[in-house]
């Protein structure tokens, strides 16, 4: 089992023929970056295959729990990120000047090792939800008192009344409630 993804030794296959490989499992809690709030270790099956001028690292069944803040209610929640499979090629030759250093991964030829940190960071971020919400049914915040509408204390604390004089503490804010009436009125 690999605990340190920053220094995965590939010396056992480096001097073998192309197609040589090794398999192992990863269970690591790396610091990927400030924008990824890890809540569990990263687990995955790793296979490293020697190819011409480098190796390919293939990760399968990657799972990790990530902490997010809901865009609607501003509460923290944890989402499991599952990635079925991804691969990255690590090169033994230096980068050409026109190659993007974030796209090309290098083998450390000094100690024949690879570092999966940046590859994992990129892949996990690609699987983030576009708009993180704690649940499909999240009601968000009261537009007036800013209390979380998913919690019962909102009913006790909010006394906001809309233009008709109705107390909205029992109803969530519905900005399009009268839209159908307005459309019908304009179509006449």
Same domain, 121 and 167: no
* Dihedral Cα 168, 169, 171, 177, nearest 10 deg: 20
In this structure, are residues 117 and 102 in contact, taking their beta carbons and an 8 Å threshold?
no
| Model pLDDT for residues 74-84, shown as the tens digit of each residue | 999 999 999 99
Would you state the pLDDT for residue 170? 47
Same domain, 109 and 24: yes
Would you state the pLDDT for residue 100? 62
Same domain, 110 and 69: yes
Report the alpha-carbon distance of residue 4 to residue 30 in Å, rounded.
Answer: 8
Note the pTM of the prediction, 2 decimals.
Answer: 0.75
pLDDT of 28 strictly over 80: yes
Same domain, 30 and 79: yes
Same domain, 51 and 104: yes
| Model pLDDT for residues 42-55, shown as the tens digit of each residue | 999 999 999 988 99
In this structure, are residues 20 and 50 in contact, taking their beta carbons and an 8 Å threshold?
yes
**Overall number of domains in the chain:** 2
Nearest to 127 by CA among 82, 71, 85: 82
In this prediction, residue 134 has a pLDDT band, given cuts at 50, 70 and 90, of very high
Which range of residues forms the domain containing residue 40?
8-126
Average of per-residue pLDDT values in the chain: 84
Residue 174: strand, helix, or coil: coil
Would you state the pLDDT for residue 126? 94
Name the more confident of 118 and 99: 118
| % the chain with pLDDT above 90 | 43
Does a structural domain hold residue 51?
yes
């Amino acid at each position: 089992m690999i605990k340190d993804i920053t220094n995965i030794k590939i010396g056992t296959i480096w001097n073998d023929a192309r197609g040589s490989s090794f398999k192992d499992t990863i269970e690591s809690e790396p610091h990927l970056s400030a924008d990824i709030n890890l809540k569990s270790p990263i687990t995955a099956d790793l296979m490293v295959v020697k190819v011409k001028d480098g190796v390919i690292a293939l990760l399968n069944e990657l799972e990790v729990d990530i902490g997010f803040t809901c865009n609607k209610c501003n509460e923290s929640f944890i989402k499991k990120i599952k990635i079925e499979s991804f691969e990255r090629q690590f090169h033994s030759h230096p980068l050409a000047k026109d190659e993007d250093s974030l796209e090309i991964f290098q083998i450390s030829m000094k100690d024949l090792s690879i570092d999966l940190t940046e590859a994992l960071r990129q892949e996990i971020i690609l699987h983030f939800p576009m708009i993180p919400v704690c649940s499909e049914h999240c009601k968000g915040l009261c537009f007036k008192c800013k209390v979380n509408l998913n919690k019962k204390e909102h009913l006790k604390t909010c006394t906001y009344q809309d233009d008709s004089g109705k107390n909205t503490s029992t109803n969530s804010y519905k900005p399009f409630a009268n839209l159908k009436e307005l459309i019908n009125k304009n179509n006449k």
